[in-house]
Amino acid sequence: MKRYSKEHEWVELQGTEAVMGITAYAAAELGDITYVEVPALGKKVKVNDVLCVVESVKAASDVYAPVGGEVCAVNGNLDADPALVNQSSEDKGWFCRLTGVAQTEFDALMTADQYAAYTAGLK
């Protein structure tokens, strides 16, 4: 089950480990993505800290941590092929994995239905 942030990140929790990326909506809004700066392994973040930077043909944008934790893996394929984020934003285009994630922070995020309603309201 995925949850979604207002800043357009998705996060999927397995136990206390989470995988995250940006949503298909965010990828479409950004346009063709040219570069993703993933965090260093071991970086510790709190909710809403800057976690990654994503550059597209339109803009460079900060990506915020939807939940707190410690970075334990990053998607090494994005360096050679950042277009993965456009093609498969919520699967192959994942950004990083975090450990030590609190269930309560995950539960505070939006469900898929809530997020769909949220983005519909942005138009």
Partner 1 sequence: MSLIFELSVPGRRGTTLPGLDVPAADAIPAGLRRIKPAALPEVSELDAVRHFVNLSRLNIGVDTCFYPLGSCTMKYNPKFHERIAELPGFAGLHPLLPQLRRGGALTQGALAVLFEAEQFLAELLGFSAFTMQPLAGAHGELTGVMLIAAYHKKRGETRPVMLIPDAAHGTNPASAALAGFTTRTIPSDANGDVDLAALKAALGPEVAGLMLTCPNTLGLYDPNVREICRLVHEAGGLVYGDGANLNAIIGRVRPGDLGFDVMHVNLHKTFGTPHGGGGPGAAPVGVAKVLVPFLPTSRVLKRTDGSYALEYHFPDTIGYVAPFYGNFGIILRAYAYMLTLGAEGVRRVSAAAVLNANYVRAKLRDAFPAAYPRTCMHECVLTAQPLAEAHGVHALDVAKALLDRGFHAPTIYFPLIAPEAVMIEPTETESKQTMDAFIATMLEIAALAERDPEALHRAPEHQTVRRLDETRAARFPDLASLA
Binding site for partner 1 (CB under 8 A): 31-35, 55, 57-60, 82-83
Smallest separation, CB 51 to partner 1 (Å): 16
Nearest residue (CB) to partner 1, 55 versus 70: 55
Phi, psi of 33 (to 5 degrees): -85, 130
Smallest separation, CB 57 to partner 1 (Å): 4
Nearest residue (CB) to partner 1, 79 versus 107: 79
Nearest residue (CB) to partner 1, 19 versus 23: 23
